[in-house]
Structure 1
């Protein structure tokens, strides 16, 4: 009965949609993800899309691949039993779907038959009872009422607890100060229950699986984790397999794959399953139209097409529904921006109200644009809200900031204070500044904010904000917003970004600025470097600091994997070895071998 209940709950995949969307049987569409054993739980301070770009270039020989169903099995040569596994991976990379597949395979008797019971306890559900006092038995009865007759003692059953979404946890997780607990029937706080389960004081024979985005992985002290794995999303063959399963017309699937391969930045993003779904939705729709527009080549074009397809705003006669739809998109944009600045991916009813969204409106909206915004019912039917993916939140946030500047000539970024980006949302949008702001001034401020961010959390937002000013995206947005850009302001923005590339010390930070230039359609620096590389004159060329940064960008985004780096190719009369070494250090770091 327990297995049958879990099977019913986990056999369908609601790809990018709320529960009222069209379900797909998970086994029909599931594509094996690339999962590796990771050496440590080290934390990266770069934007998650940047982490994906870095991982996409790692030579596979460095990794120890591991099947999702084998995460509790020691690899050859490992003899210690594995009790606690921490699986990390960026947003939308497939952590939750991996959990779903693991549970479904177990419930169908295909894998891990030695486990008798699996208890999936997502952190976003546990957040809703964080203030309650109860025993572990009570907690399990709340989530799994049909366990009431079971004696879940340490001897009788081999059990697995799955805690999905550590990055969404709002519990303190006081591992070193919480009391020690060994009795399942003793009542205490949810935080004490969790820490004692993970440490092994409570049910020491139970297996524990925790999933997290990389930034939150260190919330679990490393001494309590026996294995760290990393979900890398799709490798190149898996990307193609996904599109062939997702698109039934195989010739159309081939066209989608070849288009994505033609744009390096889009193809790298396809490591993220959610991005594959967005791309498939957009390109399949465009290729099947008789009069097809130009297929997206940049990230902003892809997301803007996706947004317009979901809300289906045509440039038709003005009507009430269209007005309400537009209002809702900008309210969602306001929510997206406020929560992005705070670093939140999930929000509650009070967060929506703060941005002028009525909760019943949000329910209607999830019918209007199900595939942008998702609402879920937690315990006691309390609603939890989130955007389908962080990148959709970043795109809507950029749309809102751009719109606010063009409508009110105000820069909402000015309201962000430096002390941890805290502010009062009500004050954020008051017209309290007499000073009008041009689009190029907004862009320059956004560039500076993104460069100052320690964890790069505004990098993708910046790419979208700049991309929305380009004519092709402005044309798409007709009917949704007042247009606001000129070739003059874009030229100023391009000039400003090139000045920043020239003056900032960090080649790593300049990489996002090259992506920004790509969004703005300026490829001049990259083309100069490609010309030098093609002609073999790179070692003789006297490169400016901008051109060195462009060289790093070109080498790091090249299709060819960085298996071996040879310094002598770049050393010449103008370029001494130590100087080249210093300039190309980011490339050397990511190569498997360097001479």
Structure 2
């Protein structure tokens, strides 16, 4: 269910929206009629949500969701089998509170084998989360991955869920609550979970959860008390503010911190916060392999600091996302010159919706010609590249 085949009229409408909103570039990988429901990036919340809602209104005639609904009892029976070891992926199945209740009731009768549960893009709501909490409370529950993106969960449901995880924290490795509304109490409970020395969480996704400066500060303060397990942190579309980013910087400086993937797109990070963040990464650069600072304005001083990070031989960044960062010709040139001095690690670079100019593109072309360059994915959407720049790029790729 992670990939759904879309009929032509719906696809045309998606493409129309796609042309108008650059953030949707991640939703379509090419000109095929495939629409990926498991988004790799999270940016324009309103645009994505309205698109999903429109798409789901046409879903029954374009997918086999009805088959899933008809086989819900069969799935429940599978979950009840004592020797069953399943990882249900029910993403985008239009499951409501009633359907979730049936599934979770079945899981309660046999919780020990389930290691992964994906309910992304369904509507279990707070009542569904309360039922799921009973499963998580069970000492036999061995759940390691829990995906609840876009599940209409609000403060009460998030609080119940995280309280349950606190009672049995040692198994969970991955939690995705993106595009829900945990509220202050939910964030407070989550912070308390992260502080627990028994908590072994490695991946935490909280994109567009309405978490403001105070909530971000609480989360990051909690991670500082127990920093050695987390490998992936997604705070895209929240508002940590400079104070939250400074706390995050202190976490990154900690020698115990093993963070490999940090996503901070559309976080309204100011110059002061960005400077603190990049300075921290320079002091402990060897672990971080993916950084997303898209949709944050990178001034001249910030680009200079980022360039210094990329020049560091200890820097192991493999993926760098700088989409729509207001980087001009000089800034792009500085970044690319830095990459030329340390070219062997970077595998993916996104400079879309910036203005590298022909001089920046020529430098980029020289980077691509370097035999030490291992770049596999290069995104330059809407970069106003002229004929001369395109010719240099194509020549380098040949």
TM-score category (smaller protein):
0.3 to 0.5
TM-score, with structure 2 as normaliser: 0.36
Higher RCO (C-alpha under 8 Å, 6+ residues apart): 1
Of Structure 1 and Structure 2, the greater helix share is in: 1
TM-score, with structure 1 as normaliser: 0.26
Larger radius of gyration: 1
